[in-house]
A and B are shown apart, each in its own frame.
Chain A
């Protein structure tokens, strides 16, 4: 039963990543593209945790934690660059 649920969630997360990619390509403003990248990082975390459940190893948990941190830092860096023209002042 868990396998069927996992397959369903894999399809949902993959579809969500494709939709985010559409927003990243056609987003009218820069802020839209940054938001799309941020959401892609979150969907990537979901996909990694699901894959960890499917393979029954907790190794992918560290990868998901790294994704969360790098996603946050990259979003803040993009926004700082748009706001101030510089990342570290």
Chain B
């Protein structure tokens, strides 16, 4: 029984290490930023997730008491990963994408939130094609 649990822990650690490496390899391999955003999510979910489950099991057989406080990190990473990806994507859009040529019209009187002015009174930096009415 002990051997089976150790085997499971070892396999989870190896999977976690491999996926951490794969996520970072994708960060170098993929051609542009919006594709590169996709790669490190593998390291976040499978990589760190497997290592944390291995840690939970290891401390279970080590101490004899089962705790789930490692899941806090997993939940925190799952909650924050979409927010960071969204903000990095918005920063990239602001610096490198032309809202007139490369983005479709929003169909509203407001433009894309990224390109809206910092202060509502001052005119938008680039109004685009606003409806005339």
> Which residues of A are interface residues toward B (Cβ below 8 A)?
1-2, 4-6, 8-13, 15-17, 19-20, 22-23, 29-32, 34-36, 38-39, 42-43, 45-46, 49-50, 52-53, 56, 58, 61, 64-65, 68-69, 72, 75-76, 78-80, 82-86, 89
Question: With A5-B13, A31-B33, A39-B27 in contact, do A82 and B91 touch (Cβ < 8 Å)?
Answer: yes
Count CB-based A-B contacts (< 8 Å).
Answer: 164
Alpha-carbon separation in the docked complex, A20 to B76 (Å): 22
Alpha-carbon separation in the docked complex, A45 to B76 (Å): 12
> Which residues of B are interface residues toward A (Cβ below 8 A)?
6-7, 9-11, 13-14, 16-18, 20-21, 23-25, 27-28, 33, 36-37, 40, 43-44, 47-48, 51-52, 54-55, 58-59, 62, 69-70, 72-73, 76-77, 80, 83-84, 87-92, 94-96, 114, 118
Closest A residue to B29 by beta carbon equals A19
Whether the pair A31, B88 counts as a contact (CB closer than 8 A) is yes
Whether the pair B24, A61 counts as a contact (CB closer than 8 A) is no
Alpha-carbon separation in the docked complex, A63 to B7 (Å): 27
Closest 6 CB pairs of A and B: A9-B17, A12-B17, A79-B87, A16-B24, A5-B10, A31-B92
Tell me the interface secondary structure of chain A in the complex: helix
Whether the pair A39, B43 counts as a contact (CB closer than 8 A) is yes
Contacts of B51 in A (CB 8 A): 9, 46, 49-50
